[in-house]
Amino acid sequence: QKEVEQNSGPLSVPEGAIASLNCTYSDRGSQSFFWYRQYSGKSPELIMSIYSNGDKEDGRFTAQLNKASQYVSLLIRDSQPSDSATYLCAVSQTSEKLTFGTGTRLTIIP
Amino acid sequence: DVKVTQSSRYLVKRTGEKVFLECVQDMDHENMFWYRQDPGLGLRLIYFSYDVKMKEKGDIPEGYSVSREKKERFSLILESASTNQTSMYLCASSLGPGAVETQYFGPGTRLLVL
């Protein structure tokens, strides 16, 4: 079983709709959770971090964490073509290391 | 802003060559990381370092070594390059041990081993 799992996609969403990205993890001791965005040919950049159960909102982005069910999700409201990218979920079991999922490719259709 | 730079964007080497990939960060970060990224496999940790001259193996250290002689610089060494080491190599840094901090990535080096 992979430690961090994501649906590879591609996930196609119409412009202006809500894009929903999901991630599950296997280690119940995981403490910190991150969403990175990676444009084609570029390096990952952090867009959200979440540490406690519930929702965390930042502009059009909302991260949701449910430790009991071991999943974390990212919602993107009012999706824009510029949101088209691969989204990487990352989970930390220790204070230094991150374990990444393989990423979900998101395409926003104008 | 944190800046992480890598010595080359693209590199072509021959099988058996010794390859050096350099990474420099300018924010006095304690932690530095080397990953490789391959389609369908995601980001995999090769080595990381939490202090000068300190290193820890990641998930796929075989065929690689690292060097951290100065705090700002972390080098990845392919002792004898092989074709299965053709990949995108990403360096990252984060603030320090004892707290989970954002990892900031360099632009990546795309290595082709012929």
Q: Is the pLDDT of residue B5 over 70?
A: yes
For residues B104 and A46, give the distance between their C-alpha atoms in angstroms, rounded to a whole number: 8
In terms of phi and psi (left: phi > 0; alpha: psi -120 to 50; beta: otherwise), the region of B22 is: beta
> Tell me, what's the pLDDT at B13?
97
Query: Does A42 contact B at CB distance below 8 Å?
Result: yes
DSSP state letters, A26-73: S-TT--EEEEEEE-TTS--EEEEEE-SSEEEEETTEEEEEETTTTEEE
> Tell me, what's the pLDDT at A2?
65
A6, A105 contact by CB (below 8 A): no
| A43–B106 C-beta distance less than 8 A | yes
For the segment A44-61, the average pLDDT, to the nearest whole number, is 94
Query: Does A7 contact B at CB distance below 8 Å?
Result: no
A4, A87 contact by CB (below 8 A): no
| B106–A98 C-beta distance less than 8 A | no
Q: Which of B45, A37, A40 is nearest to A48 (CA)?
A: A37
| A45–B103 C-beta distance less than 8 A | no
Q: Is the pLDDT of residue A17 over 80?
A: yes
- Average pLDDT value for chain B: 92
Q: Is the pLDDT of residue A54 over 90?
A: yes
> Tell me, what's the pLDDT at B102?
82
In which band, very low, low, confident or very high, does the pLDDT at B99 lie, cut at 50, 70 and 90?
low
Identify from B30, B43, B46 which residue to disrupt to test chain A contact, counting A C-beta atoms within 10 A and taking the largest count.
Answer: B43
Residue where the block lists tokens 């991630």: A23
For residues B76 and B10, give the distance between their C-alpha atoms in angstroms, rounded to a whole number: 15
Within 13 A of A32's CA, how many CA atoms are on the CB side?
A: 17
Q: Is the pLDDT of residue B100 over 70?
A: no
For residues B23 and B31, give the distance between their C-alpha atoms in angstroms, rounded to a whole number: 12
Pairing of strands B109-113, B10-13: parallel
The amino acid present at B80, given as its one-letter code, is: S
> Which of helix, strand or coil describes residue B51?
coil
For residues A44 and A67, give the distance between their C-alpha atoms in angstroms, rounded to a whole number: 25
Chain B positions touching chain A (beta carbons under 8 Å)? 31, 40-45, 48, 50, 58, 90, 94, 97-100, 102-108
Q: Is the pLDDT of residue B62 over 90?
A: yes
For residues A81 and B1, give the distance between their C-alpha atoms in angstroms, rounded to a whole number: 26
In which band, very low, low, confident or very high, does the pLDDT at A97 lie, cut at 50, 70 and 90?
confident
Largest Cα–Cα separation, chain A:
41
